[in-house]
Amino acid sequence: MERIPILKMGPFLLVTIQIDLYDRLALTLENDLINMVSQTGARGVLIDISTVSIVDSFMGRILGNIASMSRIMDAETVVVGMQPAVAITLVELGLTLQGVYTALNVEKGMELLNTKLGDNLELDDDEEEDQDDRND
């Protein structure tokens, strides 16, 4: 059975969902992710859904569940790169993902996690902002 890889990046876990999530896969991901949080003692979870184009209420609930479970285990969850169509669908379904942090892209998501954990070094921040300007 296919699995979604969970990568460890320092104190954070990085999950990139690149295929459409069907229910079993989503449940497996939830399970694996919580186990990883407990094993590694991660402080933050970053879920990239920029290539996901279809969501249903179940997937919305899974995202909410992951966030709540991580919170109990002292890790913040950031969902990044949500497509406009996906955002509209979730709102229409009445799922506003309370308690989940969101960011436009992975870079900003990482920045947000760093700020949330309070260990953002000012030097790093400045560098990142400079990079942002260049990209624009």
Partner 1 sequence: MNTTAQVLEKNKERILEKWMQNQLSDASLRDDLMTTDELQRQSREMLDGLLRAVAKGNYDNIYDTEFEQVTDTLRDISITRARQGFSPRETGAYVLSLKQSVIEVLVEQRKDDTSMLYQEIMQLNNLLDNLSILTFETFIKGREEVILRQTDEISEISTPVIRVWDGILALPIIGTLDSARTQVVMENLLQEIVNTGSNIAILDISGVPAVDSLVAQHLIKTVSATRLMGAECIISGIRAEIAQTIVHLGIDLSNIKTKASLASALHLAFSMTNLEVRRTERSKAPKLTR
E-assigned strand segments in 49-125 = 76-80, 101-103
Tell me the C-alpha to C-alpha distance, in Å, between residue 84 and each of 47, 57, 62.
16, 16, 19
Q: Which of 1, 84, 122, 123 binds partner 1 (CB under 8 A)?
A: 84
Is 2 near partner 1 (CB under 8 A)? no
Is 28 near partner 1 (CB under 8 A)? no
Q: Which of 3, 72, 92, 134 binds partner 1 (CB under 8 A)?
A: 92
Single out the segment in contact with partner 1 by CB under 8 A; choices: 7-15, 31-39, 81-89, 115-123: 81-89
Q: Which of 13, 17, 46, 80 binds partner 1 (CB under 8 A)?
A: 80
Single out the segment in contact with partner 1 by CB under 8 A; choices: 4-12, 22-30, 64-72, 82-90: 82-90
Tell me how far, at minimum, the Cβ of 128 lies from partner 1, in Å: 13
With the C-alpha atoms ordered 60, 62, 66, 72, is the resulting torsion angle positive or negative? positive
CA distance 79 to 24: 20
CA distance 65 to 122: 33
